[in-house]
Structures are given as C-alpha cells and as structure tokens.
Amino acid sequence: MDNNPDTATDTLPETDLPEAEAAPQLLPLAELHLHIEGTLQPELIFELAERNGLALPYSGLEELQALYEFSDLQSFLNLYYANMAVLQTEQDFADMTRAYLARAAAAGVRHAEIMMDPQAHISRGVSLETCVNGVASALATSVEDYGISTLLIAAFLRDLSEESALEVFEGLLAMNAPIAAIGLDSAEVGNPPAKFERLFAKAREAGLRLTAHAGEEGPPSYIIEALDVLGVERIDHGIRCMEDPDLVERLVDERTPLTVCPLSNVRLRAVDTLADHPLPAMLAAGLNVSVNSDDPAYFGGYVDDNFAQLQAVFELSDFDRSRLAANSIHSSFASEERKAELLDELNRG
Ligand code: HPA
Ligand code: ZN
C-alpha cells in the first residue's frame, strides 16, 4: 500500500535524513549509547512499509510525527516497539543501519557501539539470523564506507523473563553472532538488574563485555546492583546517581563510564528541561560521562545535536567538550590501538 506518495520510492535517498546542525567544531568521538531501532526515521518507516507491502495505522508522516510526544519511558517504548513492525528483511535492517552510520559520520562519530534488541524482533516472527545478519552486514564495512569503527551489543529486554533472555543468548552463541557485549534495556522500574544475574554471568564466561541501563528512571540502588550483581563495566544513563553522594564518590573513584543522553532525558521527562540536566554537575563532580543520542529518531537529534543544544544552554568550555569526547573514547570497548588512534586525532584537534 502506498502510505505516503511523497516518500514512495525504491531507493532510500539520503535527503530523507535530518541535516546535521552547523556545529562549532566536530570533535572525533565514540557513540556508546545508541539503539539501532531508535534510529528508524519516520520517512524510513514509510519507505519500508511500502517496500514490504504493509499497511501503517497512520495516514501519513504528519500523523506519525504527531505521536512523538512522550510522558515517560513506557510511552516512548510503546511507539518504538510498534514502529519496528516495518523491519522484516535483512535488507531492512541493513538500510536502517547504513542510514544511521551516514548521519553519525556527519556528526563526528568515529567509533560506534550499537545496541540492538533481538527479542523485539523474534517476538514478531522475524528470525535472529535476519535481524543480526542485517545489522552486522552494514557494520562489516562501516570503516570503509563511513570511517566509523563499530561493535555490536545485544541488548536484552528487562521487562521479559530471564529465561527468555537466556534462550536468545544461547541462540546468539549458537549462530556465532558477531557481538562484543550485552546490555539491558526497556522498562526499568520494577525490573531490577539482579533479575538477570545468570545471563550476565554467562556472558562474562563467554568473554563478552557488559553494560546495562540503570538510573534512568530507576533509583540509584539499581546502579549499585548493576555494578555489584551483574558486574557491568559501564552504566547507560546513570543520571540518578546524583541523588546518592556515596555512589557518586564510588563512581568517580572507579572511573565508571556513564553514557549520558541529554535530549533523551528531556523527551522522556527524566528532567524537566535541558537547563535542569545534571550533566554540568556530573562533570564538576569528576564523573566519567560521555554524551550520546540513545534513540535519535525519537528524541530530536543525533550526537551533534545533543552537543549543540548543550552548548546553547550551558556554554560548555572547549575543555569540557574535549573531555566529553576523550571520555567517550576511553570508555569504549574498542581495542587499545583504536582508542590511541582516536585520542591522537582528538589531541591533534
Ligand atoms: N531506555 C530503556 N530502554 C530503551 C531505551 C531507553 O532510553 N531506548 C530503547 N530502549
Ligand atoms: Zn538507551
């Protein structure tokens, strides 16, 4: 069905991508907190629906875009999961991933650690092979095509059972999926990290790196649990650590990376406005924070947009901006050689 004649073409024109805002200077950085399904732009949703012969429940782009008004994490997740219905084939997953890489390159991203949610696809009847191989095929040539080194992170949905996660994890191992790490996402409150203790132990045994969302909507105790029970190396979001001075002291001492997503926090109402965001206080406290886009198609911008808006509100110094970029590189799961290359690029300015 032709859902939107304006975008009904066989190709996926780059002009459909949002323009990079004119940034003062693009620093080379690593994006560490990015859900690939959250890069699905409304225009691409219509293109893929058309290509796959699917009827969307929206008359056109405007009706869909009017739904991008969220009151909390769950209200966003409802639309995020519904929109995934258009992802059917390996090509769909590859096209979505290439669209992100092209836009990220324009934002200065030189290394990206990309989460995907396999359970959100399997539950719709799309095989593990289709979703993993589709994303992985685009990542396999990301350096040549976009100048971005990449790693894939399999994220598990914390509102589902640990049994479901373990089953999918075994499937990933059985297919020798090219994953470097596992993560934990979706509805946080009521689904504490400890629920996934066995999963994270198995992933560690398999030699994978470990990260988890914690302290986005959930309390500081979830951050502590993710560190102590799951043994994660990195915390995604983590902004609610600021409510617990002892935890802040620990995170500073241990240099624990916190992958902060300012525009996401505003759009999901974790903070009232960007001016109320704790990022400056986190930097002042000496926390190891980086700036990331989370779900850029839903939250009003890519990583350069996050920097530009932070700059407009807080007048970050060049020193702070460089520190955020350096933190992202140091906190990545890239090889020491790749980190040294990127830090060198950053220092050469
Ligand atoms: N938080 C939790 N789960 C998610 C998010 C997020 O910001 N984005 C996609 N899944
Ligand atoms: Zn996230």
Which ligand sits nearest to residue 76's alpha carbon? 1
**pLDDT class for 95, splitting at 50, 70, 90?**
very high
Residue 14 lies in a domain: no
Residue 231 lies in a domain: yes
Residue owning the nearest CA to atom 4 of ligand 1: 186
Residue 186 lies in a domain: yes
Ligand 1 pocket, Cβ-based, cut-off 6 angstroms: 35, 38, 73, 80, 185-186, 213, 216, 264, 294-295
Q: How far is the CA of 256 from the centre of ligand 2 (A)?
A: 17
Instruction: Measure the CA–CA gap between 291 and 324, rounded to whole angstroms.
Output: 7
Residue 5 lies in a domain: no
Q: How many domains does the chain have?
A: 1
Buried b (16+ CB within 10 A) or exposed e, 155-188: bbbbebebeebeebbebbeeeebebbbbbbbbbb
Q: How far is the CA of 115 from the centre of ligand 2 (A)?
A: 8
> What's the token pair of residue 310?
């932070």
Segment 31-35 mean pLDDT: 99
Asked if pLDDT for residue 118 goes beyond 70, the answer is yes
Residues of the chain with pLDDT > 90: what percent? 92
Identify the helix (H) or strand (E) that includes residue 109.
Answer: strand 109-116
Question: For all residues of the chain together, what is the average pLDDT?
Answer: 94
Instruction: Measure the CA–CA gap between 168 and 160, rounded to whole angstroms.
Output: 12
Asked if pLDDT for residue 25 goes beyond 80, the answer is no
Contacts of residue 223, Cβ cutoff 8 Å, sequence gap at least 6: 214, 215, 235, 238, 240, 241, 247, 251
Which ligand sits nearest to residue 74's alpha carbon? 1
pTM over 0.75: yes
Residue 75 lies in a domain: yes
Q: How far is the CA of 295 from the centre of ligand 2 (A)?
A: 7
Domain housing 149: 29-348
Residue 1 lies in a domain: no
**pLDDT class for 113, splitting at 50, 70, 90?**
very high
Residue 8 lies in a domain: no
Domain of residue 49, CATH code: 3.20.20.140
Q: What's residue 137's pLDDT? A: 98
Nearest ligand 1 atom to alpha carbon 37: 9
Asked if pLDDT for residue 3 goes beyond 60, the answer is no
Nearest ligand 1 atom to alpha carbon 188: 2
Residue 179 lies in a domain: yes
Helix then strand then coil, in percent of the chain rounded to 5, is: 50, 15, 35
One of 43, 90, 216, 217 is an active-site residue; which one? Answer: 216
Q: What's residue 297's pLDDT? A: 98
φ and ψ of 255, to 5 deg: 55, 35
Give 202-215 pLDDT, tens digit per residue.
999 999 999 999 99
Residue 216 catalytic?
Answer: yes
